[in-house]
Structures are given as structure tokens and as C-alpha cells.
A = this chain, B = another copy of it.
């Protein structure tokens, strides 16, 4: 059975000796645009790549504003700060995510609270979220419109919810937004993995106050390293630009800064690669969805299950996933496939099991625990 899977993956990537999980593809104007940057010694506005990359992102996602930054972690940290998250607060996220989600929350001086995922979406479970909020929070004594619910056990405010669209599959974001609104908590969507993924036709990252995207080395489109904040709120976007450019107050020559800022804006050369990649994002997504379709076909009626996009969604199928019946099978497969030059990897270790997050509050994590033992990512890169 394992041999059959390995051989099938080889047919998908016939030219590769070692099949990677996801390699970037550069078949557009990347070189031309980068060379433009060098020729204009960066300082010229020829091309204005950062602004163009932001515009293209807004057009593609339907978000009114996009702000390009150094990476997805920085994007999430800044978005949380702008959502009003303060040192000592708590932020709800899911235990099944890449560590950057929890790190960005920590970088705000905030503690993550881990709420379970759904088995089908692998993203935050609306039911589990509502259950946790109902049993673990109380209303704030301050009855200001901005007052957040208080965690009963720690007495700290819950100031944001960060659902993540795992491997590109949209989570139940509509229900999450409704619950968050009932509890007066802002939602910042970690869409680092879901550029090109839609829930009921609306792009992930555009449901909450803001969303973030990532262009790290192995993402659907890559700039080598980069991120984006997307939002429909104009002031939020302006503040994001300000805070990520050392909070400098515009002046012809004076150096005045009005808050503790960051050096987090994306460089022109990074944006130049992003612009070139966005020009053919449709082609990349179509290619990835076709790969997913071939996997789906192959795994039909097999012991190993291929994970399909949740209902009501269109996924970018960033990293394709298969599900084993137990951890033992999973480990045997990982071992055999990696030995045979096919790079597969298990889903991440749950956040609450990592040393630095093991004392964080958690809800019931049955689904995340169940998935942790069974899910494996299989090669999903662009196929020539």
C-alpha cells in the first residue's frame, strides 16, 4: 500500500529525484522586476513595487486595504496590537497551527488560550469556541462598548480570537465571527496558508477586523520572505503602515516618531517578486487544485483518506493532507516515504505540548489530539 502511494507521488513529480513538500516556482517576470529595482538603485519610484503588490493583493482578496510587511509573524503581531491587544491580555487561538501563530501572540506580551479544532476543517471549531467562552468567561465590570469578557480563572481580558485556515482549508469562519461578535471580541484571521482560499466565495482573511498573509519560502506564492495585513478598515491600514515604518511622522527632514514603532515594512525588492508572482496566481492555484484532484482520485476507496476542502469553501490546497487510521500506520508511512526520497511530514506538534506553551490554558482538545496522530502532508508543489 505504502509503495503504491510512493509510486503515485513519483508520477506527479516525475523529474524529481527527491520530491519536496513544496517548492517555489518562478516562471513569470520575477527577474525582470528585481533587475528594475537594482537598476533604479531602489530609491526610484519606477515600478513602485510595494504599492503595486498591495493593490494587487487588495484586488485579488477583495480586502479594501493591504499593507506589506516583512513576514506573516510580524503581520499578525502588528494586527493584534492594532486590534487593541495589550500586554497581559489573553488571545484565543487553536493548538493545531504553525508555531508562528502562538509566537506572534506572545510577542504582544499576551498569553495564548488554545481552543480545539474541527476534524473536517482542521481549523478552529466554532462549537468548541462558544463552549469555552460560555464556561470560562464573565462580562467585564466596566460597561464600556469596548469592554472585553474576562477570563474567570485569570481575571485577564480576552482581547482577540485568531482562527487559522489550516493548510489552506477555510475553517468555519462565519460562525466564529458571529460568536466573537456576541462576546465583543475582535477576530484577526491567520490566513498565512490560505491565499487563494475562499469561504462562500469570500476570500479568507476578510471576515474579521483584519487578516494576515504569508509569502515565506514554501507558500502558494513566495517572495522569499514576506507578509501582508489585509483589512477593510482604512484607519487600521493607515495605523499599520505607520507602526511598521518606525512610527515616523511625515516631515521633509525632521525625525519625529510618535509611538514605539517597528522596522517591519516590506522591501521593494521583496515586493517586486510578489508582483511578478501575483500576475500568475490563478495559474498556480489551478495547478495546485488539479494536483489535489488527482490525489482525491487516487485515494478513493483506499485505507488512507485524502482530506478534501470543507463544504461551502474553495481551498488553495496549499499542502495536501492524508489521514491514517492511527499513529503507528502514520509513522511507518513517514519512515518509508522519507527513506524513498518523498518528503512527507506529520502535522505540527500541538502548541500546548511545546515547552514554552505547556502552561497555557486549554479547552477540551479531543479533535486536535486525534488529528495530531493521523495527519500527514504530502508533496503539493507546482507541477510543470
Contact = CB atoms under 8 A, between A and B. Distances in A.
A268 to B, nearest CB: 6
Interface stretch (A119-127, A180-188, A348-356): A348-356
Contacts of A41: 23-26
Nearest to A355: B258
Contact of A273 (B269, B338, B355): B269
Contacts of A31: 34-35, 38
A72 B225 CA distance: 17
Interface stretch (A2-10, A135-143, A249-257): A249-257
Given A255-B98, A257-B354, A344-B253, A30 B38 contact: yes
Interface in A165-200: none
B354 A263 contact: no
Contacts of A258: 354-356
A216 B318 CA distance: 33
B98 A267 contact: no
A281 interface: no
Given A31-B35, A103-B246, A103-B261, A254 B224 contact: no
A43 B24 contact: yes
Interface in A14-43: 20, 23-26, 30-31, 34-35, 37-38, 41-43
A42 B224 contact: yes
20 contacts: A23-B43, A24-B42, A31-B34, A71-B263, A99-B255, A99-B257, A100-B263, A102-B260, A224-B267, A224-B270, A253-B343, A254-B345, A255-B345, A255-B346, A258-B355, A259-B356, A260-B356, A269-B269, A269-B270, A269-B273
A315 interface: no
Interface string A73-86: 11000000000000
A107 B260 CA distance: 8
Given A35-B35, A103-B263, 15 more contacts: A26-B41, A31-B34, A34-B34, A37-B224, A42-B217, A43-B217, A70-B70, A70-B71, A73-B262, A87-B109, A103-B260, A103-B261, A225-B263, A252-B338, A256-B354
A20 B262 CA distance: 24
Interface string A57-74: 000000000000011111
Nearest to A227: B263
Nearest to A22: B43
